[in-house]
Amino acid sequence: MEFNDTDVAQLVEDIWGGMLGLPVKMRGAPAETDGGRNLSALVQLSGDWDGAVAVNCPEDLARKVAAVMFGVEAAETSEADIHDAIGEVANMTAGTVKGLVDGYCRLSLPTVTGGIQMSISMPGSRVVKATAFDCEDSSFSVVVVEKA
């Protein structure tokens, strides 16, 4: 299965801009990291198509997402709120990707990890599409992988 930039950009704009009210713009270059704490939320798809969708962003951006989702000030969000929010964004993204693939697929629950200068790999898979976006003063990425 192949995904083009337009597919990914549209689904990200629908979720971040339409549902969260956070406008995004696709970047020409990979998302930048500032050396601070980052979060990655991963949802696996299994069935007629096997793969995963990951949303990777700085913790500060995930905090803004949580504030919007829960209707509070960013400073009032807890770590659990932030993980829930970015996990839900990954879940919505994966659900939209699920609609683009042929056949039946199930979604896993989101897994959220955080750290500094971390990377996530899925052995036995290949990156189908990795797209970076700007949102306010941060950048984030959406990565779709397929089981090889």
User: Which CATH number fits the domain that encloses residue 101?
Assistant: 3.40.1550.10
Whole-number pLDDT of residue 127: 92
Averaged pLDDT, groups of 10, the chain, 148 residues long: 80 93 87 82 96 95 96 96 97 94 94 87 89 92 92
What the block records as the tokens of 67 is: 């504030």
| pTM of the entire predicted model | 0.92
Q: Count of domains in the chain? A: 1
Range of the domain at 15: 5-28+37-147
Whole-number pLDDT of residue 2: 72
Rounded Cα–Cα distance for residues 18 and 56 (Å): 19
* Residue corresponding to tokens 């971040």: 16
Whole-number pLDDT of residue 136: 87
Whole-number pLDDT of residue 121: 81
